[in-house]
Amino acid sequence: MKLRKIGVIVTVLMLAMLMMTGCSSSEFGLVVNDDNTAVVTAENAGEDDSSSAGTITVGENQQISVEASEGAEGTLQLDFITEGELSEDADADELAEALEAAPTLTLVVEGEQSTSGPIPAGDYLIKASSLDKLTGTYTISVTDMK
């Protein structure tokens, strides 16, 4: 009988630990949309999580704008890297090499703040990185400079 009680207690504790582990799962992703916007989604993302995807096109007299969702927490770094000579059918190694280039523009978003920055006209790869625990949705768009 005593062993049965211990077995039940151990099982309950293990289930509780599994449930807590499931609650602390994390998500971090970057998606570039057809309308020349991009969205970073983070849920309990850890420090140094990063993602890159597609390109965004900036025209003359335009800038990059980033809007954080209400309740966003943590620090997000966005690097905009000149696409350069990268072809549309570039392989993973070519893309990884391109992403190692120095960014033309780096924007840092903390918490719920929004930010923007001027950038020369061109096509840019986007690399998003979590600098600490990060939660929120961040919309990246190209806007006209005022």
Domain at 47, CATH number: 2.60.120
Specify the number of domains making up the chain. Answer: 1
Domain that holds residue 131: 25-144
**pLDDT the model gives residue 141:** 97
Residue 96 located in a structural domain: yes
Residue 97 located in a structural domain: yes
Residue 121 located in a structural domain: yes
Task: Enter the DSSP assignment of 103.
Answer: P
Residue 15 located in a structural domain: no
Separation of alpha carbons 140 and 85, rounded Å: 23
Residue 10 located in a structural domain: no
Residue 17 located in a structural domain: no
Task: Enter the DSSP assignment of 101.
Answer: S
Report pTM. 0.77
Residues 131/55, Cβ–Cβ less than 8 Å: no
**pLDDT the model gives residue 146:** 77
Residues of the chain where predicted confidence (pLDDT) is lower than 70 = 1-24, 85-87
30: Cα within 13 Å, side-chain hemisphere: 21
Burial class of residue 129 (count of CB atoms within 10 Å of its CB; 0-12, 13-18, 19+)? buried
